[in-house]
Structure 1
Amino acid sequence: MQDYFRPLVRSDRPRPDNALPLAGSPRWFTHVARHRRDGSVTRLPASDLPDDVATRLSAPRGTLMGLPMDRPQIMGILNVTPDSFSDGGRDRTAPEAARRGRTLVTEGADLLDIGGESTRPGASTVPVGEEIGRTEPVIRALAGLPISIDTRKLAVARAAMRAGASMVNDVSGLTFDPALADYCVDNALPVCIMHAQGDPQTMQDAPHYDDVLLDVYDFLAGQADRLVAAGLARDKIVIDPGIGFGKTTQHNLALLRGLSLLHGIGCPILLGVSRKGFIGRIGKAPDPAARAPGSIAAALTGVTQGVQILRVHDVAQTRQALALWQAVENGDSHDS
């Protein structure tokens, strides 16, 4: 029976001498929770970990697009779509979208994620030419900034790279267009693989898992291993549990509680919870634009478990919350 090891992450001081660092960050752990498919969860000392597992959990992650992965980075969402669930239609022209992208960077975004196809529940596939027409001029206008292209399609990714993007963020986890994986490998491109059950049109139709945390882990680990076997360096792979993509509220909460398990894959973790439907349901906020407080609370849950990238709509608010969080936790204050 396969064992899955979830580090029980801490950051308080003093740090014990026998503690292992979490993914090369200031966070650490001395114990893990061992999960098995029979439903059992057992607490074990980290000293009991197999050597290869301990190395995966503790080894520093490499830089990504020049950004260090030993601290949280904020990815600003820039949707160039008429129908995204939260901000669709906000920027009707490429210059408007580019201005907002520069504003997000001014507000504290470390990188931008630009997408031209809504992947909200029930959304239809956008033709390739239309998706390129939405995203390429915006990327070109923002070239020189760290940019990922949020797409499932090879042709869109290729056009984005020519325009100035440098990472692919695929919500299908490289299952929609198999040629996209080969393109990323052949060009040594950073790529984020996300877990989703079903496609956007059907993903919320009664999603089911044997064990959502372990099922998501297995998918992401399998896709990452396939990329590495094909020749892509592991430090160019980012993993995303896909909160809200073919998951119920309870599935989302189980993933948030167990996020640190994913460090065992040996890749930076991206968390995208911003303004998701479950935040509106739990936080009594039917308007997506009113979900910043709940989004930040969920994002900080990820920070406590060592998530390296936070994908957010509300950049300035998240940056402020993260700054206060880090000041309290680490004494990292810039007050003169």
Structure 2
Amino acid sequence: MSKILATPKARAMAKQANIDLADLKIEGRKIESSDVENYLNSLKSSPAPAVEAPKVEAPTPKTQPASTTTVSPTSKLDGRREKIAPIRKAIARAMTNSWNSVAYVNLVNQIDVTDLWKLRKSVLESVQKTTGIKLTFLAFIAKAILIALSEYPIIAAKYDEAANEIVYPDTINLGLAVDTEAGLMVPVIKNAQTLSIVEIASEIVRLAKAARERKIKPSEMQGGSFTITNYGSVGSLYGVPVINYPELAIAGVGAIIDSAEVKDGQIVAAKIMHLTVAADHRWIDGATIGRFAARVKELLEKPEILGIL
């Protein structure tokens, strides 16, 4: 399905009025705010449909064939039916809004995390014994992304449709997509750029647990600047993540796999991960996205500096 062209003000008005821009049936040009206003006025002025009196038909002779029974369109779909849960409806609206609003571009980087694998293994037991926190790879990845976001602030910005402005946050609130029985949730680590790797790991565990137990607070699901989705946790290598609009970008983290790589002319065993960065190409150039992703790659391939920067 092709994207609907509309001005930022028109989209904002439609969103506030909870209407679908497709209902305006305007093709060949951008939908303007005046189009939305006219459509809303037409809804207000439209009279209620008249109710027709039942028609009395003459009895049909027995020699004529029986009339065809009208079948509801949904009755053609056989199988068990299930009502759509409110949270799934909210997810659907957010996904559709993002896909219809964003000019997507995706860049993928292959990252050698062999040294990160060794570093984590060397400190895992000591850190857990001292703090009670089990360091996950996601905590290291999040720290690298946070450092890169501070160097490329446009990646953590948002687009204000109504004002047609890019808004740079005063602090970086990091969203983390969490898979729950109820559906996808995105809890947010507030002021994430101020936290250590251990503190990030602690927040990931706390927020993910609260989300899965349906104890997450509304305030802990709001105010995100940038989101990480970790589809590597279910074994996936690559993905095309959907931006949590009006955020401008998202990072997708793939599974870490064993791979044979060529280094200095020699084939060596390595731990490889793929990072996908999806961004809104309207406001972020591909070169900027590439430099941001390359910086994350550099930090993860030299993990010893993550605790210093």
Say whether the fold is shared (TM-score over 0.5).
no
Q: Structure 2-normalised TM-score? A: 0.26
Q: Report which structure shows greater RCO (CA 8 Å, sep ≥6).
A: 2
Q: Structure 1-normalised TM-score? A: 0.25
